[in-house]
Structure 1
Amino acid sequence: MDLSQLSDSEAAALCSLLRARIIDVVSRTGGHLASSLGAVELIVAIHRVFDLNRDRLVFDVGHQCYAHKILTGRNQAMEGLRSFGGIAGYPKPSESQADAFIAGHASNAVSVAIGMARARTLQHKDYSVLALLGDGALSGGLAYEGLSDAGDSKEPLIVILNDNGMSITKSVGGVADHLARQRLKPQYLRFKRGYRKVMGATTVGRGIYKVTHKVKTAVKETLLPCSLFEDMGFTYLGPVDGHDVKRLTRLLRYAKDLKAPVLLHVRTVKGKGYPPAERNPDAFHGVGRFCVETGELVASSKPNFSATFGQLLCGMAEKDPRICAVTAAMQGGTGLDGFAARFPERFFDVGIAEGHAVAMAAGMAKQGMTPVFAVYSSFLQRAYDQLIHDVALQGLHVVFAVDRAGLVGEDGETHHGVFDPAFLDTIPGMTVLCPSSFAELESMLRHAVYELTGPVAVRYPRGGEGAYQADSGKVKTALLRPGKDITLTGYGITINALLDCADRLAADGLEAELLKFNTITPLDVAPVARSVQKTGRLLMAEEAAGGSVGKRLAAGLLERGITARVAYVNTGDGFVTHGGVEQLRTLRGLDGASLYKKAREVCGHGDS
C-alpha cells in the first residue's frame, strides 16, 4: 500500500483499523500494548511522508513499533508476535528492510540517527533520517549526548519526541497552548520561511531579523518548553496533538523540507483507544494475554522472584532506616510498588538512567546509607563504568538486586540476562550470589545487606521458583546430592533442570553428585574439584553466554592438575532469540531431558 496517496479521512480510518488489530493481537500474544497504541497516528503520518524502505526511522525504544510492523508487510506475521519462530516485539532489520536498527534499550536513537545522517552525507546519498523517542527515553543521559551533537551538526535530521507525560513537563497555561497552535499553522510556517529568505537578502534586513528573533525567542522561552532544544541547534516544532494524523503529516512534510536538525514535539496518550490501557498505562506497558472486553489478564498471577524481593526489602526497611531502594524506571517490574508506597522518602526512581542510578547509590553508600538498586540484568550492562569507578574503586557497600537473570523469554536478544555473570566477575571486590528459591533469596538478600561488605549482587530469574524450594545455607558451594558416577554443577534456577537430570540418571542406575554454586564470584572451585577427582566426569550447566562460570571452573580444575571427561552447557557464544523460556532452554540444551542426554554421553552411555 502506498500510504502517501491516502486522503486524510482514509488515514484516520487506517489508524482505527491498526488500533483494533494491535489490541486483538496483543490480547492473544501478550506484548507492549500501551506504547504502540499511543504511537499509531504518528506511525501512519511518518509512513505517509517517508519511504521507510529507503528513509531511515530509528525507534527509541522499539516497543512503539507494532503499527509500523503491520504496515510493512508483517500483518499476518503478527499472529506469532514474540513467540518462538515468530516475529520479534522490537524492530529487527533481519525481518524487514523497513526496520532501520534494533531498538530494545532506550536513549540511543539520536546517536544512531546522527551516525546514519553523517554516513549519508559522506556517501553523497539522498534519504531522510528520523529518530522517534518515547516512553521516557529522554530521561536517559545518552539522549542528551546525541541531541547535543546532532543539533550542532547541521545535518538534516528529524527527531520526534513522543511525549506521553513521561519525558518532559507540560507547557504552562492556555496562552502557551494557543501560541503553539498558531505557530504550527501552515500559513505561519510558510510566512516564517519566506520572512527568513527576504530578511536575509540585505544587511538591513538581517539586522531587523536579529532584533525580531530575539523578541520572539524571549516570549517563546517564557511560554513554551522548547528553548533547550533550540539552544542545542534544533528547529523546534510543537507541541502538537499526536493523535491528529492530518496535522502530523503536514508538520512532517514541513520538517523534511527544512533540511536541518528539527525536533518535533508530539503529545500523545499512552494506551490511546483502549480504555483499560488509558486508565492504567503502566499495567498495559508490557502485558500478558488478556480479555479485550474487560482488560483482565487471562493467566492468574503466581508468586515470582521480583514480587518476593519487593516484599522482603519492605520487611528489612521496616527495621532498618538506612535501607533505600533505587530503580531506573522499573518500579513495577522489579517488585518495588509496595516499597514506593510504604517508604516514599527512601524510594528513588531516577528514570532510564542506570549509570546515574549506580553513581547515586555510590554517593548514598559513601555517606552511610544502604542503597539497594533493583535492575534488570540486561539494563545493568549500561552502568559498567560506574560499577568500576564509582562503587568498586572505593569498596562501597551497594547491593544490586539483579532481576531477569538468565533467559527472559519473549523480549528476546535485547533483554536476556546472560552477560552479567561474566562482566560482574571482572569487578574487583564484587560478590555475586545466586539464589535458586524464594527461601534462598531471603537468606542471601539479608546476607548481602547485613553481613557482606563492598559491592554485592544478588541475581535471580524472571518468574517463579521450580521444584527446588530449599535453602542450602550460607556455604559458597552446597552439596545437594552425593554420587560416584558423574559430578553435576550449576547455579540459580538451572538447579531444577540438574535435579531432573539427576533423577533420570538414577533411573538408569547412575549416581550423580550434584553441587550448587550459591556464590559465583568469587568462585569456590575446591568442592567441585574434590568431587571430580572422585567421579572423573563433570557436567556444568548455566544460563549464561559463552559459559562464564564454566570457563572459570575449567581453569580452576586445570590449575589443580585435575583431568576428567567434561561437558559445559550454556546459552552459547551468540545471541538467543525470543520465545517461551522453556522453549529456549530446550533450544540451548538447558532443560532436564537435554542435560540427561549430555550427561549420559559424558558417562559413555550414548543415546541408549
Structure 2
Amino acid sequence: MIDLKNMSIDELCAQAESIRNRIIEVVSKNGGHLSSNLGSVELIIAMHYVFDCKEYPFIFDVSHQAYAHKLITDRWDSFDTLRQTNGISGFTKPSESSSDYFIAGHSSTSLSLGVGAARAIRLNNEHRIPIVLIGDGAMSAGLTYEALDEIGDIKYPMIIILNDNEMSISKPIGAISKYLSTTTATKFYQEVRGGIKKILQNLPDSATYMAKRFEESFKLITPGILFEELGLNYIGPIDGHNISELINIFQKAKNFNSPVLIHTQTTKGYGYKIAEGKYEKWHSVPPFCIDTGIPLNPTKSINPTKIFANKLLELAKKDEKIVGVTAAMPSGTGLDLLIDSFPNRFFDVAIAEAHATTSMAAMAKEGYKPFVVIYSTFLQRAFDSIIHDVSIMNLPVKFAIDRAGIVGEDGETHQGAFDISYLNLIPNMVIYAPRDDESLELALEFATNYNDSPLAFRYPRGGFLLPNKTYQNNNFELGKAEILNKGSDIAFLGFGNGVGRAHLVNEALQNKATLVDLRFAKPLDIGLIKEIAKTHKKLYIFSDGVKLGGIAQNISYILLEDSIFTKIKSFEFQDIFIPHGKTQEVEKILNLDTQSILNAIQGDLKNL
C-alpha cells in the first residue's frame, strides 16, 4: 500500500504524475481502459488520503476507472499483468485484493451497493460510511435513481463523488447529463458563483441572511437543486484535478451525518495530451505507441460489427420501417453509422437497456421493424422487458446480439455466455446465428423480412472462426439446419461461431465427421437432428454458450423423448464465470481450442 497520508500536496501531485505514467505505460502494452483512468487519478488519490479503504467501502461504478486504486493498493508491480491471462483484472475484484470492495463491470450499480453497505453499517452501529465514485454517464440509468430515492428518503450517511467529465463511453445522452454539463460550463455561471462566494465572505452578519437567500435562489440554475430536492447535501462543482481542494472537501464531507454528493469536474485522458477531451476512441484501447497514439497492431480486416452496420444501413435505405436503438454503445455496436444517416429512426437511449427494449416493443406494435442492438452481456439487464413487453405480446422486435461468446480481456462481467440459454426459456422467441461474414448479412435480411415473432441473432467479437465462403451460403429458412460435410460414425453440430470451431477440428480429422450448421437454436431442426442421430454413433455439439440450458441439453431432451439414445458430447462453456485473458488463451483454459477438442474426440473414437 502506498502511504499517501504522510505526503505533502506537492508529493501527492508527483505521485499522481507517477501513477498516470504507469497507467499509460502498461495500457500502451496490454490495451485497456485509458482515458477514464487518467481522468480519475487525483480523485482516487484524495479518496485514499482522507479515507482508509479497508475500513470505508470504496465502491467504483463500473470500476474500469479504478486503475489508480489498484496501483495504490499493492498492485504496482503486478500491474504489468493487467487484463492478461492469470493476471490482474481490469475491474475491481475482491478475490484479487481485500482493498477491492465489489466486482463491477456494468454501469450504475454503485449507489445501490452503497445503500446496502450503509444499511449494514447502521445495523452494526458502526461509524464508517460508504465512499462511492460514479461517473455522470451512469446517471442515465434507472437503477441510479431507484437508489437515490431511498438515499434521500432514509438519509443514509454516504459520500457520493460524481465524476463529471461530460462523457460516458461515447457522447452522453439524456437530460440529466446535459443538465450537469450545460449549467456548470457557462462563463456566466462560473463568474457569478465565484462572486457570490467572495460577497458572502466579506458581508457583515446582519446581511448574511439576504445573501444566503440569494445563493439559494441561484441554485435554481445549478445542478445542486436537483440533488438537494432528492434529499442529498450538494457540494460543487469543484476541480477534480486539484488534490488540495479535493482533500479539503472530502475531510469536511466525512463529518456529515447524512448523504452528500460532491460534484467534481474532470477531463478524460487528463495528462496525456493525445487522449485529453471528448475522444470516444480513447475510452478502451488496444496496445498503442505512446509517442503517437497509433495502435501497434491495427486490424485490417472488417469485423462482424462493421459488417452488421453496413448491411443494416443498406437495408434501412430501402425500407423506411426499419428503426433501431442501442444503449450507450453507438460505436461499439456500429449503430453510430445508422444514427448519423437516419437520426430520426435510430437512437442511443444511454445506459438503459430495459427502456431500449420496451420502447422498441411499442414501435413494433405501431408497425415498424425495430432492431435492439446490444452486447450479449448488457442484454442481460433487459431480461424482464424481453419477456414481459416483447414476447408475451409476440411482437417482432429483432435483437442483434454483439460480442456473443468469449470476449477476452474484459473477463467475467463481459463474456457473452448466457444469451442462448436465457432466451431459449422464452416462448415465441426465435434464436439463430450466422457462421461467417456472408451469412451475417443473410441473417440481417432474414430478420428484416421475418415479422411473426421476436427473434435474436448473435455474432462474435473480432471475427468468425470460419473463413468466409468456406461453404456455400443459402438464405435462412426458419428452423432449418444445413449439412456442410458428410462423414460417418460421428457428427459435429455447430451453432454460430461453433460451426467454425467444429470445422477446424474436422479439418484436423481429415473431414471424417458429418458437419452440420444448426443455424437455429430455437426452433431446432428436429427432423434433421433425429435423422443424423439414428445414422451416427456419437454427436458433438459446438456453440459459444453455456452448457446449462444450452443446445446440447435441448438436443438430448428431444432425442430422449423419442427414445433415441445416441451418445452426445458438448463442447460448450462449463458452469463457471469465464476468466479474462486473450481469447485464444481463454479457449485453452476451457479446453475448447482445437488440440484439446481433438484429444477428447480421439479418446472417444477408440471406444466407438
**Alpha-carbon offset, residue 212 of structure 1:** 8.3
Unaligned runs of 5+ in 1: 196-207
Q: Once the 2 structures are TM-superposed, how far is the Cα of residue 217 of structure 1 from its aligned partner?
A: 2.9
Partner of 1:395: 394
What is the rounded CA distance, in whole Å, between the counterparts of 1:127 and 1:601 in structure 2? Answer: 58
- 1:75 is matched with 76
Cα drift, residue 149 of structure 1:
0.9
Residue-by-residue CA offset, 1:436-477 (whole Å, 9 max, x unaligned): 111111111110111342211111000112334232542421
Matched, 1:171 2:183: yes
Match in the other structure for 1:136 = 137
Q: Tell me the CA shift for residue 135 of structure 1.
A: 5.5
Contact 2:268 2:278 (8 Å CA) reproduced: no
What amino acid is aligned across from residue 606 of structure 2 in structure 1?
G
CA contact (8 A) 1:180 1:238 kept: no
Matching residue within 574, 579, 595 for 1:572: 574
Alignment of 1:241-320 (within 5 A): 241-279=239-277, 281-301=279-299, 302-320=301-319
Cα separation, 1, equivalents of 2:423 and 2:342 = 29
Aligned to 1:353: 352
- Per mean C-alpha deviation after superposition, the further-off stretch among 46-55 and 278-287 is 278-287
2:537 match = 536
CA contact (8 A) 2:9 2:243 kept: yes
1:474 aligns with 2:486: no
Partners of 1:393 and 1:564 in 2: CA distance: 35
* SS of residue matched to 1:489: strand
> Over residues 476-521 of structure 1, what are the superposed CA-to-partner deviations in whole Å (9 max), with x where a residue is unaligned?
21111111111111211121221121122238xxx21111111112
Q: Structure 1 pair 594/217, CA: closer, same or farther in 2 (3 Å)?
A: same
Three-state SS of the structure 1 residue aligned to 2:570 is strand
Is the 2:466–2:499 contact (alpha carbons within 8 Å) kept by the matching residues of 1?
no
CA distance in 2, matches of 1:513, 1:469: 20
| Deviations 1:208-255, CA, capped at 9 Å, x for gaps | 98x98766433311x311112111111001111111111011111111
3-state SS, counterpart of residue 503 of structure 2: helix
The equivalent residue for 2:238 is 240
CA distance in 1, matches of 2:123, 2:278: 46
C-alpha distance in structure 2 between counterparts of 1:467 and 1:107, whole Å: 37
Could you tell me how far apart the structure 2 residues matched to 1:38 and 1:58 are? 17
Instruction: Work out whether residues 536 and 563 of structure 1, in 8 Å CA contact, stay in contact via their aligned partners in 2.
Output: no
SS in 1 for 2:390: helix
Q: Is the 8 A contact 2:552 2:568 kept in 1?
A: no
Determine helix, strand or coil for the equivalent of 2:291.
coil
1:498 aligns with 2:502: yes
Q: Tell me, what secondary structure is at the counterpart of 2:128?
A: coil
1:351, distance to aligned residue in structure 2 (A): 0.5
Shift of 1:176: 2.5
SS at structure 2 position matched to 1:258: coil
Q: 2:482 aligned with 1:489, yes or no?
A: no
Q: 1:275-302 CA distances to partner (integer Å, 9 max, x unpaired)?
A: 2212552001111001111111111222
Take 1:389 and 1:565, find their aligned partners in 2: how far apart are those partners? 37
Superposed displacement of residue 182, structure 1? 6.9
Aligned to 1:603: 605
Secondary structure at the counterpart of residue 306 of structure 2:
helix
Aligned twin of 2:170: none
Aligned counterparts of 1:565 and 1:141: Cα–Cα separation in 2: 47
Residues in 1 aligned to 2:245 and 2:523: alpha-carbon distance in whole angstroms = 59
Kindly state the Cα deviation for residue 605 of structure 1 after the two structures are TM-superposed: 5.2
Identity level (%): 39
If the length of structure 2 is used for normalisation, what is the TM-score? 0.92
Structure 2 vs 1, CA of residues 279 and 253 (structure 1 numbering), >3 Å: closer, same or farther?
closer
State the distance in 2 between where 1:462 and 1:238 align: 41
Q: Does 1:585 align with 2:587?
A: yes
Compute the displacement of 1:24 (Å): 1.0
* Contact 1:570-1:588 at 8 Å conserved across structures: no
SS at match of 1:262: strand
2:379 aligns with 380
Query: What is the Cα deviation at residue 180 of structure 1?
Result: 4.6
Q: What's the Cα RMSD here?
A: 2.1
Q: Tell me if the contact between 2:136 and 2:162 (Cα under 8 Å) persists in the aligned partners.
A: no
Greater mean alpha carbon deviation, residues 448-457 or residues 115-124: 448-457
- How many residues are matched? 584
Give deviations 1:573-602, integer Å, cap 9, x for gaps: 110100011111121122222222222233
What is the correspondence of 1:180-199 to structure 2 with a 5 Å cutoff?
Answer: 180-181=193-194
- Once residues 366 and 565 of structure 1 are traced to their aligned partners in structure 2, the CA distance between those partners, rounded to angstroms, is 44
- Other structure's SS at 2:466 match: coil
Deviations 1:305-345 (A, max 9, x none): 00110101111111111112211110111112322222222
Q: Which structure 2 residue ranges, 5 or more long, are not aligned?
A: 168-176
Query: TM-score scaled to structure 1, two decimals?
Result: 0.92
Amino acid at match of 1:24: E
Matches within 5 A, 1:81-230: 81-134=82-135, 136-166=137-167, 167=177, 168-171=180-183, 173-178=186-191, 180-181=193-194, 216-221=215-220, 223-230=221-228
